[in-house]
Amino acid sequence: MTIKINNGEFLFFCCNDGNLDLLKQEIKRRYSYLHLGYSKGRFLTYKTTKDILLNELEPVFTTRWAKSLKKVSKEQLLSQEINILSLTSFTLHYFSLLDDETQDKEVSGYFDKYNNCNMENEFYYDVVQIKTDEFWIGIHAKDQRCAIFPNSDPKISLPEKSPSRAYLKMAEAHCLFNISITENQKWLELGSAPGGASYFLLENKALVWGNDPAEMSQLCLTNKNFTHIKKPVQHIKPEEIPSDIEWVSVDLNLNPKQSLAEVFRISKDFRFLRGILVTVKIVNLDHVDYIQDNINWARDRGFDHVIATQLPSHKREYLLVLLNKSAPKRLTVSSKKT
Ligand SMILES: C[S@@+](CC[C@H](N)C(=O)[O-])C[C@H]1O[C@@H](n2cnc3c(N)ncnc32)[C@H](O)[C@@H]1O
């Protein structure tokens, strides 16, 4: 089930803080039939100049894209004038794009109780606060990427003792893409220091081989399930790593081409590989134009399911999820090939 948007109607897009330019660049390059309407903070509206279906779009730098229905004030929202709660075949998602201090507590108090990750309904109403007294209402469909969480955010908090914020990237990918981590499952992490992502995997009882010339946190080093390969990735010989690694995570401060080349060199003989999670850094705006090349490159190497997306904790970067046939797939992940 999808949503039709007629020529002349509007969509809206929400994005991570500081990434508006990346989203605009992506839309300009990939969806030139969309014309910018309104922009505020990390919220944008676009008018389509042809009839489209909402699931034709798979933008990377957006956390939520929806058909835009209307803009309302707080008073209208809380009155019975907008009677969205009476539409029982819809799930409601309320979220605010404002800082915690400026969010409207009365409105969030009212709507938060309706927020849920119900997967039974085909459509979701999005109610988004973008200014103190400005809310937008839109609608998106279940088959869109990460549709079941308000603004695609599972709201995972960073444990105090995590060695780094990279814990969140791994925890969010695990949750949004339903990656099952089982006891003694073998993971390789390229670019593992100081160890936030490894810490998340170890907490989930995985066996982790972490590669990084930099120091790892004692929290990882003292865990018997962790092995540190302390050298640049370029110096690793495939025989230094078990050949039955199931998952590889890549978070290197290298250019994307080099990161991808290294990960494929090392993992090409892994017999039970289910998937690879690659964090791709965006160093300048031109890198936005190469996303499709990276996706195609991965497909040419036999990954039948490739997704490019930004996670809620991402800064100037995105995640490439490369899944083999044996990897579990969640309904929320679109299977459409771009
Ligand atoms: C963003 S940090 C990784 C954060 C880490 N995943 C965590 O969970 O804390 C990037 C890492 O890439 C490492 N790195 C850069 N060049 C590398 C190379 N050639 N080989 C291996 N690691 C490299 C850096 O030392 C740095 O620790």
Dist. CA 248 → ligand 1 center (Å): 14
15, part of any domain: yes
Q: Write the pLDDT tens digit of every residue in 172-205.
A: 999 998 898 999 999 999 999 999 999 999 999 9
Taking residue 265's Cβ as centre, other Cβ atoms within 10 Å add up to 12
Dist. CA 210 → ligand 1 center (Å): 10
Contact of 305 with 327, CB cutoff 8 Å: yes
The CATH number of residue 63's host domain is: 3.30.2130
Local structure of 44: helix, strand or coil:
strand
Does 12 share its domain with 123? Answer: yes
Does 210 share its domain with 127? Answer: no
Question: Among the three residues 106, 121, 152, which one is the final residue of a domain in this structure?
Answer: 152
Q: What is the average pLDDT value for the chain, to the nearest integer?
A: 89
**Per-residue model confidence (pLDDT) at position 314:** 97
Q: Please name the residues in contact with 134: beta carbons below 8 A apart, sequence gap of 6 or more.
A: 40, 71, 73
The CATH number of residue 317's host domain is: 3.40.50.150
Does 139 share its domain with 284? Answer: no
Provide the token pair at 315: 């800064």
Dist. CA 201 → ligand 1 center (Å): 16
Residues framing ligand 1 (Cβ under 6 A): 163-164, 166, 191-198, 211-214, 232-234, 251-254
**Per-residue model confidence (pLDDT) at position 337:** 38
Provide the token pair at 137: 């209402």
Mean pLDDT of 89-100: 85
Relative to the CA of 214, which ligand 1 atom is closest? 25
Q: Write the pLDDT tens digit of every residue in 320-333.
A: 999 987 655 443 33
158, part of any domain: no
The number of folded domains in the chain is: 2
**Per-residue model confidence (pLDDT) at position 7:** 98
* Residues linked to residue 250 through DSSP beta bridges, in sequence order: 190, 278
Query: Averaging pLDDT over each range in 85-99, 178-192, 285-299, which range is the top one?
Result: 178-192
Does 121 share its domain with 202? Answer: no
Does 172 share its domain with 305? Answer: yes
Does 96 share its domain with 140? Answer: yes
Quote the domain boundaries for residue 270. Answer: 166-323
Mean pLDDT of 253-264: 90
Taken as a whole, the chain contains a residue count of: 338
pLDDT-derived band at 88 (thresholds 50, 70, 90) equals: low
Which has more confidence, 116 or 110?
Answer: 110
Question: Among the three residues 152, 186, 201, which one is the final residue of a domain in this structure?
Answer: 152
Backbone angles phi, psi at 298, to 5 degrees: -70, -40
Does 145 share its domain with 249? Answer: no
